[in-house]
Structure formats: structure tokens, C-alpha cells
Amino acid sequence: MKKVALYSRSNRSRTRAGAQAPSAEAATTAAPEPTPTPKGWWRRFYARHERLVLVVGSGVFTLVAIFGYALITTPMSLTQKDIDLAVQHTLENMPPEYSMASMAYEVVRPSVVRVRAYKEDEEGGEDKPEGTGTGVVIVDSGVILTNFHVVGSAHSIKVTFADGSESEADIISVQPEDDLAVLQAKILPDDLIPATMRSTADLALGDEVITVGYPFGIGPSVSSGVVSGLRREYRTPEGERVLSNLIQFDAAANPGNSGGPLVTADGEVVGIVTAILNPSDQRVFIGIGFAVPIENAASAAGMSPF
């Protein structure tokens, strides 16, 4: 770096052209001593110690930069109250289209199947449709839970998966006392996704639930509601059987929903829809539905209970 030249101050004015310059002795006696100023002192110090100033200045700049970076990048210490407020803000500002029902449905949708039962044609032709219900895949090998009353008297069974593919299915296990049947599909989709089952041990009245199925053959259809009761009993209108330890719910269910999943807000299956209560003979939903707890269903499938 080019050094700055030192200059001393002088009060002497330049002589005009033609004017006689003062003598050296007069100039020596007349010139006042330079008065030091802060600016002049700094220039002299910098000129004499340039290298030291640069080294020290560089070090100070580096320390300031490191300290500033640490302040920016060091995470703040969050309290539980800060976290709770952040979560509450997120929930309050969540877009309305992301409802509990829609999220739960998206989780369980790939696992729900349409179940069609066929009866044998007495004339030797193709089997004729007998009824439509719903099922839910619980093992990726094609194991499906449904209701016994949907397939119990069927000569043949077909299931339609979420991707639209179809397959014949066989009954591999039944548990009539809980109105449960277990099917095995013969042909599987490439990306078959089983549903997640959840224990009913912590299920409480008022918990949000949805049903997914094919009411009157229309679907897949989804409806939402809450758990209305636990450990209920149900007797068919004909008085043929009594189902016990049922989950009562008020999400809409109609003929065709039978065998479909009762699903929590997290998209996990806690029951298999089995019946609706209606004192009339209309067979339509009036607000009370029943589902077999998934513990019973897992037992019917030969799986260890929760």
C-alpha cells in the first residue's frame, strides 16, 4: 500500500511575484511551531505502524463477523408455551379444505374394496348378483375383512380394489357370532396398501370417526360423525342373533356399508361396520350404527389381538 506523505502545517503565505522573500533568519524566527491535531496524529501513527494497524483491524473485523454470525444462527430457547402457541396458530390457520374427514379418508381409501356376492344360477349359467357390501384390506397379501352376512351364503365373490382392478375372492375364515368373514383375493394390484388397525382401548365417546363404503352400491362414499356409545348390544329385527360389545356411532351408514371400516381421525381402523338400527322396515339410516371392534375382527383373521 502506498504510504501517505507527512506534511507540516505553515502559516506562511506564498510570496507574490516580484516580492522580496524574507531572509532565512527571519523565516526561522517567525515560523510558529506546528500545532498537533487529532487527525494529524492519526496519520503519523498510521504511516509509522501501517502493518500493525492492518493486522489488528483484520482481527477485530473477523471477531465481529464471527460474533454476528453466532447471534443469527444460534437457535432460540423455546418454552412449551411457545410451542403450544405455534401449534394453535397453525391449526387455526389451516386451510378449510383439509377437514378431519377428508384427511382420514385419503389415508384409508387405498385399502377399501367393494364386495359383491353372487348366487348360483339354477339354470347353469353365470352366477347372479346377490348383494353388495364393503371390505377393507388388512394384509398386503390380499386378506380382506368384511361381514359374514354379506358373503355367508354367496356361491362366488368378487372384490373391486381402489384402483378399479377386480378379483375373485374366497372365504378363508368366518366368525358368525361377530358377523365377520375373512376373504382372500386371488389377483392383487401391484400397489396394494393395507389399512392400519388401532386398538379401541382408548376410544371415547365423542371421538370423531368416518365410515367408508358402498351404500346401495354407490361409492366409495364417506360420511363422518362421532362415537356415540361403547359396549352396545344389537339384535336383528328378526331376532335371529345378538351382537355384543359393539361400537355405536352416528356417521351415516346404509345397506352396502356393511363390512366397511369405521375409521378414526388418523385414518386408522377401529371397527367393521355391521348393522344399523331402524325400528321401521325401511332399512335406511336414522342415526344409530354399530361396528364390531377391530380386536374381534383381528381375532377372526387369526391375528394377535392388541
Of 167, 223, 228, 258, catalytic:
258
Report the distance separating Cα 227 and Cα 262, nearest Å: 10
Strand partners of residue 145: 136, 182
Structural contact between residues 247 and 230, judged by C-beta atoms closer than 8 angstroms: yes
Identify whether 190 is a catalytic site residue: no
> In angstroms, rounded to a whole number, what is the distance separating the alpha carbons of residues 169 and 142?
9
- Cα 46–chain centre separation: 64
Q: Which helix (H) or strand (E) holds 177?
A: none
Q: Is the peptide bond before 237 cis (omega within 30 degrees of 0)?
A: no
Residues 146, 179: Cα–Cα separation, whole Å? 8
Residue 179 known to be catalytic: yes
Nearest to 150 by CA among 186, 201, 116: 116
Q: Which of 111, 178, 179, 224 is catalytic?
A: 179
Question: All 3 cell numbers of residue 140?
Answer: 398386503
Amino acid at 8: S
Q: Look up 153 and say whether it is catalytic.
A: no
Residue 138's H or E segment, with its range, is strand 128-139
Strands (E), 208-298: 208-213, 221-235, 242-249, 261-264, 269-276, 289-293
Catalytic annotation, pick one of 111, 149, 221, 250: 149
Q: For 109, which DSSP code?
A: G
Residues identified as active-site: 149, 179, 258
